[in-house]
Chains A and B, each alone.
Chain A
């Protein structure tokens, strides 16, 4: 019903010229210098509630997502027709062509143990590859989920739900402002996507097929080899602890904690490829942690998670202490346990 109504409305509006909803991805809007007022303006969805992707807009997911207060994340990618992203090694984000849009909608249900039941869209973040680089735009959904409006300053949302462990939570959920989007997506002087690396995409996604194969078959992706390494699934307890913990730090921390990131001055670099213990925090004194260090003196004290500043900051939800400092109001208990176990098993001798 809602879809039908929206479609009619779209037809009506298109007659007025000014606010027409495009029938498919609208390159003029996508490549415009600034953001569109509403998500619908881009034509990425056929319906106002953004449940029906337009032709060429493909749902996907990541093997390991960033923790975001248990939100369900609905990811889609649009690569302009006739163009393709290039694979450039599993460690790297795919090289997406100009005109690409990465769409991520954050949704919550009353009970996140059954996230599809009564799900509400709250915010949608766009990363658009403009002619001069990537731009990040936040959109916030209205109560009726009929419109998501551009919200450069972000928003605070009062959310109450039952978390996946069955615990009721009430949070001030932060929709990041546009600059905060950049804080995490910074790569030197530019901004860049974080998640869609070959190694983090190569599995069966929401469409039920291997995403790398599927994107290649669709002509959206070129150059992916038949076989390459994929990242360890953080939640797969059958995998080695070290691989899982490092994969967790890679997706949750390394976008800032790397040489080109927002936390570069810390000298604490947490990417998958880092191999120097001190750069990973082993025996490393904090640089600018302030009270974020708690009572600890080093980022990681092998064998002693409770003496490790890394655990202390992950296990806090307080501004000024909590890490990551953006993007969550809650503690990721599973992540804390994983990193705690990893540090516990570290060889004390180093």
Chain B
């Protein structure tokens, strides 16, 4: 049989290997949504202290029955590879954040400490420490709960630390509560390409970004303490990703203070552009409300509303923030030592910056100016600047700053985030 040698790679446009119609496919991963209806009873397991702990824990994670609880004892346990969980409905429970510690400092493989790829999983009462990549990642893991877990990198904040601490992605119904994340070289808590999200009552500190909601929709970020990061809470939308059009995030009742740690992110990552000393950054998103938060001592600004700042070619992407409302927050000292590009711009407005900054970008790609509806509903005593950059791409020298607030209107009540698996 003679074959033609090969097809030219660059021009061959064939249907992507779609899942549909793939005769070999079956539901081998068992991703059924029901937890307890599978055959056989859930068998709870306790992984005892002793030799080969990592091996026995990983075996328990693989052999877990759907709906079961795997209990971890108190102690510090050395891990040599990333752990993985792919069974629905499993609860992984330690003794407490301070007592059960999975220590990855000698990790030799995998991109994260713990990877969850199944639905209806609860992670609680343990710590993941010093993983080489991300701390805990859950991908395509619907109805996941992270509660009372800690992800940390010990020592001074470092470029060598893993990127994300708690990292749910491509998931629906995500609950992250009472966790503690420290030292991530990107975001401590990062929720990406997901919907229906509650991030509440967490402590995020000494990360580049404390909490980041990216390319996601319908999120509530409430009651968190976000301090000593480079940037506190970020709501971003980025181009060239499978899920775009980030929208509908409410940032409420958080304490956002002292986010003046140097930005220690590796340069290629989007958070490397976050000026140290920023409380909240809203970038390229639709319908974001920032209300009832307590801002204190963020050296660059408390609230920064900005367009996506890098080159992109994605025709489906909108780089502008629009329908943004800022109201009824408490503002302490800020803007006294602005960093990054904002440092340059500060010189145009007298050296210091007001607590709320909008870049003033209203058009991109040669499009007409659009009504982006930025609504600053704060007392007149709260400072604001519109940098007046006008159109994307951003050219700092084009700035024509104005203290006048844009003529916006309220975006109304944010929809309540209702999770399928938790109150």
Do chains A and B interact in one complex? yes
CB < 8 Å: which of A91, A287, A318, A329 contacts B241?
A: A287
Structural contact, A318 and B132, CB atoms closer than 8 A: yes
In the complex, chain B residues 160-191 whose Cβ is within 8 Å of any chain A Cβ: 160-164, 167, 169-170, 185-186, 190
Asked if A229 contacts B6 (CB within 8 A), the reply is yes
Which of A135, A264, A273, A293 has a CB less than 8 Å from the CB of B170? A264
Q: How far is the CA of A172 from the CA of B262 in the complex (A)?
A: 36
- Chain A contacts of B4 at CB under 8 A? 227-230
Indicate with 1 or 0, residue by residue over A179-195, a CB within 8 angstroms of chain B CB atoms: 11011001111111100
* Cβ of B235 under 8 Å from chain A: no
Distance in angstroms between the alpha carbons of A265 and B115 in the assembled complex: 14
Interchain CA distance A230-B108 in the complex, whole Å:
36
B25 and A133 within 8 A (CB): yes
Task: Please indicate the chain B residues that have their CB under 8 angstroms from the CB of A172 in the complex.
Answer: 108
What separation, in Å, do the CA atoms of A89 and B14 have in the docked complex?
Answer: 10
Contact across chains for A190 and B186 when beta carbons are under 8 A apart = no
**With A230-B5, A325-B110 given, is the CB distance from A153 to B26 under 8 Å?**
no
Which single member of B24, B109, B139 contacts A326 (CB below 8 Å)? B109
Whether the pair A289, B163 counts as a contact (CB closer than 8 A) is: yes
Interface residues of B in 285-306 (CB under 8 A from A): none
Judged by a CB distance under 8 angstroms, whether A17 is at the interface is: no
Partner of B86, one of A182, A243, A284: A182
Q: Of B9, B24, B28, B160, which is within 8 A of A247 by CB?
A: B9
Stretch at the interface among B54-62, B120-128, B357-365, B404-412: B54-62
The one of A153, A259, A293 in contact with B267, judged by C-beta atoms closer than 8 angstroms, is A293
Residue contact B6 to A177, C-beta cutoff 8 Å: no
Of chain A, the residue at the smallest CB distance from B134 is A290
Q: How far is the CA of A154 from the CA of B139 in the complex (A)?
A: 22
Q: Which of A50-58, A160-168, A295-303 contacts B (4 or more CB under 8 A)?
A: A295-303
Task: Contact check, B163 vs A179: say whether CB atoms are below 8 A apart.
Answer: no
Q: Quick one: which of A187, A243, A278, A318 contacts B22, CB cutoff 8 A?
A: A187
* A152 and B19 contacting across the interface, CB-CB below 8 Å: no
Interface string of A229-240 (1 = CB under 8 A from B): 111100000010
Q: Is A289 a contact partner of B17 (Cβ separation < 8 A)?
A: no
Taking CB atoms, residues of chain B closer than 8 Å to A243 are 6, 8-9
Residues in A with CB closer than 8 Å to B313 are 278, 283
Tell me the smallest distance from the CB of B10 to a CB of chain A, in Å.
6
B314 at the interface (CB under 8 A from A): yes
Interface size (A, Cβ < 8 Å)? 87
- Is A227 within 8 A of B2, CB to CB? yes
Interface string of A94-121 (1 = CB under 8 A from B): 0110000000000000000000000000
Bitwise interface map of B from 230 to 242 toward A, beta carbon under 8 Å scored 1, else 0:
0000000010111
Interface 1/0 per residue, A302-339 and B, CB below 8 Å:
00000001000000001110000110010000000000
Q: Give the CA-CA distance A174 to B80 in the complex, in Å.
A: 10
Give the interface size bracket for B toward A: 35 or more
Is the Cβ of A174 less than 8 Å from the Cβ of B240?
no
Residue of A nearest to B169 (CB): A265
B115: min CB distance to chain A, Å: 8
Residues of A within 8 A of B111 (CB): 319-320, 325
Q: For residue A296, which residues in chain B have a CB less than 8 angstroms away from its CB?
A: 267-268
Complex CA distance for A231 and B29, rounded to whole angstroms: 30
Which of the listed residues B11, B24, B29 has the most CB atoms from chain A within 10 Å of its own CB?
B24
Cβ B108 vs Cβ A271 within 8 A: no
Q: A174-B109, A260-B17 are in contact. Are A134 and B268 (CB under 8 A)?
A: no
- CB pair A187–B25 under 8 Å, yes or no, is yes
Cβ contact within 8 Å between B19 and A188: yes
State whether the Cβ of B31 lies closer than 8 Å to any Cβ in chain A: yes
**Contact pick for B133, options A132, A187, A290, CB 8 Å:** A290
Residues B19 and A260 in contact, CB atoms below 8 Å apart = yes
Q: A232: which of B6, B31, B161 is its contact (CB, 8 Å)?
A: B6
Task: Please list the residues of chain A having a beta carbon within 8 angstroms of any beta carbon in chain B.
Answer: 86, 88-89, 91-93, 95-96, 129-135, 152-154, 156, 172, 174, 177-180, 182-183, 186-193, 202, 210, 212-213, 226-232, 239, 242-243, 246-247, 258-260, 262, 264-265, 267, 271-273, 275, 278-279, 283-298, 309, 318-320, 325-326, 329
Measured CB to CB, the residues of B under 8 A from A are 1-19, 22-29, 31, 55-56, 58-59, 61-63, 80-82, 84-86, 107-111, 115, 117, 131-134, 139-140, 159-164, 167, 169-170, 185-186, 190, 192-193, 238, 240-243, 266-270, 310-311, 313-314
What would 29 A/B residue contacts be, using CB atoms closer than 8 Å? A130-B28, A133-B26, A134-B24, A152-B58, A154-B58, A156-B108, A177-B62, A177-B84, A179-B117, A182-B29, A189-B31, A189-B140, A232-B6, A239-B6, A243-B9, A265-B139, A265-B193, A272-B9, A273-B15, A284-B240, A286-B269, A288-B163, A288-B167, A290-B133, A290-B162, A291-B160, A319-B133, A320-B162, A329-B109
